[in-house]
Chain A
Amino acid sequence: MKAKRTSAKRSLLRWVAPLMFLLLLLCLQNLRAQSATGRQSAWEFGLTGELFNRGLKWEEQTSTLKATNLLLEFRGRNLSNFFNLRMFAGLEQAGLNDIIFEQLPITLEYQGGAISGLIFGARAEATFYRTSTFSLGVLADFTSYIGFKKSFTMPGFVVPAEATAEPAWAQASVGLMVAYDGLENSQPYLEVAGSLLWGAFKMTERIEDLSGEQSIDLKGSGLLSVTFGWNFFLVDKITVSPRIRVFPGSKTAVGAGITFFYGF
Chain B
Amino acid sequence: MLNLIKNLKKRIRLWPLAVFMALALIITAADSNLAAQKKPWNKKIITSTEKTRIKFGEAVSSTGQLRLRVMNQPLSQPPSKKYSSEKILVKFKPEISIQSSARILEAYQPKGYQLIPRINVYVVQIAEGSSVEETLAALNRNPDVEFAEPDYKLRLAVTPNDQLFRYQYALYNPGGTLQIPGSPTGKNRADIKATGAWDYVKGDPNVLIAVLDSGIDYTHPELSNKVISTGKDFVNNDNDAYDDHWHGTHVAGIIAAATNNTEGIAGVAWNCRLLPGKIISAEGEGDYSWLIQALVWAADFKSGNAEVKVINMSVGGDEPAQALENALRYAYNKGIVLVAAVGNDYEPRVLYPAAYDNYCLAVGASDWNDTVAAFSNYGPQVDVAAPGVWVLSTIPVALTEPGYLPYAFASGTSMAAPHVAGFAALIKSAKPWLTPDQVMKIIKYTPDDIGTSGKDNYAGYGRINTEKALAPFKITK
Contact = CB atoms under 8 A, between A and B. Distances in A.
Interface string B437-477: 01001100111010000110000011000001111111111
B65 interface: no
Given A107-B472, A112-B477, A163-B475, A63 B133 contact: yes
A158 B454 contact: yes
A251 B137 contact: yes
A108 B473 contact: yes
Contacts of A63: 133
Contact of A112 (B131, B138, B475): B475
A208 B474 contact: no
A184 interface: no
B135 interface: yes
Interface stretch (A6-14, A125-133, A149-157, A175-183): A149-157
A207 B475 contact: no
A106 B138 contact: no
B27 interface: no
Given A64-B133, A105-B434, A208 B477 contact: no
Interface string A88-121: 0000000000001011011111111100000000
B431 interface: yes
B134 interface: yes
Contact of A157 (B445, B472, B476): B445
Given A111-B476, A112-B477, A210 B445 contact: yes
| Size bracket, chain A contacts | 20 to 34
A250 interface: yes
A106 B442 contact: yes
Most buried by B among A100, A113, A159, A251: A251
A152 B442 contact: no
A62 B474 CA distance: 17
A165 interface: yes
A158 B475 contact: no
B7 interface: no
Contacts of B130: 251
Contact of A109 (B138, B446, B472, B477): B472
Contacts of A102: 472
Most buried by B among A152, A157, A163: A157
A225 interface: no
A54 to B, nearest CB: 11
Contacts of B431: 103, 105
Contacts of A165: 475
B475 A108 contact: yes
A51 to B, nearest CB: 12
A137 interface: no
B469 A109 contact: no
B475 A152 contact: yes
Interface of B: 130-131, 133-135, 137-138, 431, 433-434, 438, 441-442, 445-447, 449, 454-455, 461-462, 468-477
14 contacts: A55-B134, A103-B433, A107-B473, A108-B472, A109-B473, A110-B475, A111-B476, A152-B476, A154-B475, A158-B461, A159-B445, A207-B445, A251-B138, A252-B133
Which 3 pairs show the lowest CB-CB distances between chains A and B? Answer: A251-B134, A210-B441, A252-B137
